[in-house]
Structure 1
């Protein structure tokens, strides 16, 4: 069982990172901090002559993701949605679909996914559209959506006071380690 964690925060060790770290603590996980990589926006070639896609770190990252069985998406809730860098990475999946790179959809359909989202301003309510967006993404790629955590936190380490989120981490850890 391989796990990859995609960290979408622009701030290392923020609240969404902390929950993701607790989820995979002691497990062998490939940790990808998306903000550390050069990811260019997708260029839409669906209705034009194909040209070269951006020469950036996307192929390296998607290859690492496709090697694992489980994907954890950890993002702060930015303006009621996923972070920009995570959205850019997911947008680039259109490139993988166009290239049919390594049979992208068949590989994604064999994976389990978890989402961790942390924010304030009523995140348990206002973060639900973010979760629904991921559900649609996973439906499209036939990826098994195995669980999510919405946490309440803004200031550094304030997520550690959200006992419901911490409890949910333990529930999902059991799922990950027992269903591997």
Structure 2
């Protein structure tokens, strides 16, 4: 199966530091690797409503934002969450996207859990702090989501930047971006679990 990357951009700002860093990493992908970029701010999702104890889920129509994102997610071999670090985790736009995964797990015909198993989840984030450990909750959110679905987890590419374009001066992040998607991503595991 040829690789198909879905870049889910979770910033409220177009061409922000996170997107710039993600694009630098994506430039290193081979030319035959398909790339699809979706700005969540341009295709806002409705708030997720948990129906699992009240009624059945239905597959969202493909001409809606939710349906387009479900179809794009199912078609991808690699999903890149490109969300800036907001209050130590993913943005609200990104969190809503991940919340919809809960519904997709129960959507007839989507077979979401089986489809995601073995695929790879990646993260890219810009943060305005010199200490990378402040992104631990962000990394945990993505790692645990991948582990729950038996996905591979490629880790999170972090870059420093607050003002527009700042990340382009973070030479360490730009160097890491050159090989970020070239690594073999291991199967995600929940931390602190032995089995």
TM-score (structure 2 length as normaliser): 0.83
Question: Where does residue 48 of structure 1 map in the other structure?
Answer: 54
Contact 1:74-1:116 at 8 Å conserved across structures: yes
28, 33, 36: which one pairs with 1:30? 36
Question: Where does residue 114 of structure 1 map in the other structure?
Answer: 122
Contact 2:120-2:154 at 8 Å conserved across structures: yes
SS at match of 1:58: helix
Structure 2 spans left out of the alignment, 5+ residues: 185-195
Question: Which 10-residue stretch deviates more, 47-56 or 125-134?
Answer: 47-56
Distance 1:134 1:31 in 2: 19
Q: Cα RMSD between the aligned structures? A: 2.0
Question: Where does residue 136 of structure 1 map in the other structure?
Answer: 144
Q: 1:79 to 1:11 in 2, by over 3 A?
A: same
Structure 1 spans left out of the alignment, 5+ residues: none
Greater fraction helix: 1
Question: Where does residue 13 of structure 1 map in the other structure?
Answer: 15
TM-score (structure 1 length as normaliser): 0.89
74, 77, 101: which one pairs with 2:82? 74
- Report deviation, 1:54: 7.8
Cα offsets for 1:63-118 (capped at 9, x unmatched): 11211111111011111110111100110111111114421011111311210011
Cα offsets for 1:33-81 (capped at 9, x unmatched): 1111130111111222347688741111111121111111101111111
SS at match of 1:146: strand
Runs of 4+ aligned structure 1 residues displaced above 6 Å come to 51-55
Contact 2:59-2:109 at 8 Å conserved across structures: no
